Structure 1
């Protein structure tokens, strides 16, 4: 597919960087990858990491800054940021894509279960999905679940012998960020995805006990699973700098996991990836140094 310009909104985050990495491996030199970020510093970091890409600075709170970013853009992948204004940011980006007139396909990063709108994060992302569906653009929703990479945030506890993860006896299928990036790149560089919603999970359902056992085996040190109370989890999140709205949203998500409302393995990820998804054991072995 020649002379395509793909705009990545939210390019400096983990998912954005993983997607650019996968696209750079795939894209021909005739295609342009344009990374939209919030600061010159982020732009410089991405340019250093990926010299072949373009960068552009945008402010999703100021729609007028999007006009230049969309010049000649044929495909968009939007990854909404961890901000309370997710819904408005999505609307601004989608409206700008419509106004550009050149966008053939808009891939929207979303969350597993968004269609139910049962928790805050689901409602935020589903608002963006609905706005996109009503925009007249060809759309695809990429709905992902809790990341394996999130366990870097639990690394200190794991090092000290405890996985403090408040999902009680529930289970979920954690997903690898590099896999998400590759899946997104595959969607952006192949056809047949218009007006589809993909639910992407990891390859295996794991309880907290299962996860602790994996960390134990890989690190060679005993790691016990402890499920804190909601109050303890909230205090922990707030003490590490999480804003109140986001911490409350995470508590809602943990309750979904605790009650097995997301205890599902979807086939979509492996089909889109074209290879087996990364297991938590694989991820931990590759990044063992972070957990010992």
Structure 2
């Protein structure tokens, strides 16, 4: 008999799907899984792919419509989307969780360094964190860093023999999305995580040159590292279709990397996984066809 209902908000995104898959793999009859998505089509796709889940449409811009999705829910994983008002979206979800009366754990997806509120992305997520902390609900912050999967957006340059990434000589620890999903699933299905903020990084510090060298090794051809100036990076991101707010936020993040403010490997991820985190080389090897 299912005695717990887990709602994932943002279930159709990369982190949401990774969490769904990890929860399903646990095959724990105690948990009913509810996937919150933005539209009916996304819900139908997820329902077909994962027949054991229940898909529900959630409009975080319309708080009054959220009650049905939260009915009977005991645990919530909030993954704010890549929108400029994502802090408000998270607040609306938190309000709905409070109103439901049944929620006894809320895990909030966030970013490493949120507590410093030094850059746009940190401020957005910390605003949501503080609101959750003040809500009275048992909370857990799952703070993550740059995804290994993000490098798929740099595949065209790699194919042409160059990795363009504006972090100068700085180092950071890229993280695998499947690892994030497994970590989230573990937090949602075990106890002892209340009032904790976990900083989850990848397993190794890498510079832009290290990453280019890894591309060279995986693809079998020389991939040069190029660190463009800020304006070049901005124009490139805008040209790739990034919204201006997000592109400028990424520039701030790249400067954090470039100045080694994020040059840390946290032990939290491996402790929560119970196994080593995925290395960049292993991820790239598994997705080699995207870069050759």
TM-score by length of 1: 0.99
Q: Is 1:181 the equivalent of 2:181?
A: yes
**Partner of 1:278 in structure 2?**
278
Deviation for aligned residue 1:99: 0.5
Deviation for aligned residue 1:87: 1.2
Is the contact between residue 182 and residue 273 of structure 2 (CA under 8 Å) also seen in structure 1?
yes
Correspondence 1:97-246 to 2 at 5 A: 97-246=97-246
Deviation for aligned residue 1:2: 4.8
Q: Work out the CA distance in 1 between the residues paired with 2:168 and 2:106.
A: 38
Deviation for aligned residue 1:26: 1.0
Deviation readout 1:179-235 (Å, 9 max, x if unpaired):
000000000000000000000000000000000001100110110100011000000
Q: Work out the CA distance in 2 between the residues paired with 1:216 and 1:238.
A: 27
Q: Is 1:269 the equivalent of 2:258?
A: no
Q: Is 1:58 the equivalent of 2:96?
A: no
Q: Secondary structure at the match of 1:262?
A: coil
Q: Work out the CA distance in 1 between the residues paired with 2:63 and 2:286.
A: 40
Q: Work out the CA distance in 1 between the residues paired with 2:130 and 2:110.
A: 11
Deviation for aligned residue 1:264: 0.3
Deviation for aligned residue 1:134: 0.3
Report the more deviating stretch, 232-241 or 24-33. Answer: 24-33
Residue ranges of structure 1 left out of the alignment (5+ in a row): none
Deviation for aligned residue 1:48: 1.3
Deviation readout 1:21-57 (Å, 9 max, x if unpaired):
0000114234210000011110011111111000100
Q: Work out the CA distance in 2 between the residues paired with 1:192 and 1:219.
A: 43
**Partner of 1:258 in structure 2?**
258
Q: Work out the CA distance in 1 between the residues paired with 2:129 and 2:289.
A: 38
Is the contact between residue 2 and residue 32 of structure 2 (CA under 8 Å) also seen in structure 1?
no
Q: Secondary structure at the match of 1:56?
A: strand
Residue ranges of structure 2 left out of the alignment (5+ in a row): none
Q: Secondary structure at the match of 2:149?
A: helix
Q: Secondary structure at the match of 1:276?
A: coil
Q: Work out the CA distance in 2 between the residues paired with 1:27 and 1:10.
A: 21
Q: Secondary structure at the match of 1:132?
A: helix
Q: Work out the CA distance in 2 between the residues paired with 1:83 and 1:220.
A: 38
Q: Work out the CA distance in 2 between the residues paired with 1:100 and 1:21.
A: 26
Correspondence 1:11-22 to 2 at 5 A: 11-22=11-22
CA-based RMSD:
0.9
Q: Work out the CA distance in 1 between the residues paired with 2:48 and 2:159.
A: 33
Q: Secondary structure at the match of 2:124?
A: helix
**Partner of 2:96 in structure 1?**
96
Q: Work out the CA distance in 2 between the residues paired with 1:41 and 1:227.
A: 40
Q: Work out the CA distance in 2 between the residues paired with 1:29 and 1:261.
A: 43
The number of aligned residues is 292
